[in-house]
Amino acid sequence: MSRIDTAIQNLRNNNIEAFYCETKAGVVPLVERLMSEGETVAVGWGLTLFECGIIEHLRCGRYNFIDRYRAGLTQKEQNDIYMDSFTADTYICTSDAVTEDGKIYNSGKCVNRSSAIEYGPKSVIVVVGRNKIAKDIGEALNRSKMINDYKCTLGPVSDNSTRISLANIPRSDYTVTEYQRLKGRIKVIIVGENIL
């Protein structure tokens, strides 16, 4: 059994729905099936969402998209978006790692992503590439610490003018989602490609 198969089986054992997409091209059609038109949708930080075409899809007008990547947001508007995300129908994000034993690991400075995963939105969709599968929480933590030149894009991926480095910015919190009490609330999509 592959690492991905093991992770998917153990996520399901932990009451977390799990899906597999061979390529990034399959992610948006699957996300479409997991949501309904007209839903209020918020997103967490992550280049994965741009790479898979999720942000572009959410801007199509069929959803009430709380767009944290909209150009020109003030600090107050950004803070309002973080708060509004907790009442979204669906919250879509990536994760630092998914372990083979079916746990979701995240670290962060603002912890808005971790907070939304744990409580608030009715549905959470987590999208990760195969490169984010870790053997266990120890490996997930080490992997997170070793990413020294990680970049955060505040605008579209193609917009190289808006980049800040997250290297050496201390993380304030670490969270591990080990079991989901509400069956079906958290859904993990694992992609069979490496994704940022």
The confidence band for 27, taking pLDDT boundaries of 50, 70 and 90, is very high
Residue 3 identity (one-letter amino acid): R
Instruction: Please classify residue 127 by burial: count the beta carbons closer than 10 Å to its beta carbon, then call 0-12 exposed, 13-18 middle and 19+ buried.
Output: buried
Please enumerate in sequence order all residues whose Cβ is within 8 A of that of 39, keeping only pairs 6 or more positions apart, or say none.
63, 64, 88, 89, 90
* Mean pLDDT score, 164-192: 77
Task: Check residues 147 and 112 and name the one with the higher pLDDT.
Answer: 112
The confidence band for 168, taking pLDDT boundaries of 50, 70 and 90, is very low
pLDDT of the residue at 144: 73
The confidence band for 17, taking pLDDT boundaries of 50, 70 and 90, is very high
- Give me the domains of the chain, ranges plus CATH numbers: 3-191 (3.40.50.10420)
What is the pTM for the complete model shown? 0.86
118 in Cβ contact with 93 (< 8 Å) = no
Asked whether the predicted pLDDT for residue 191 surpasses 60, the reply is yes
pLDDT of the residue at 114: 85
pLDDT of the residue at 126: 97
pLDDT of the residue at 109: 66
Q: What is the pLDDT of residues 63-94, one digit of tens each?
A: 999 999 999 999 999 999 999 999 999 999 99
pLDDT of the residue at 171: 54
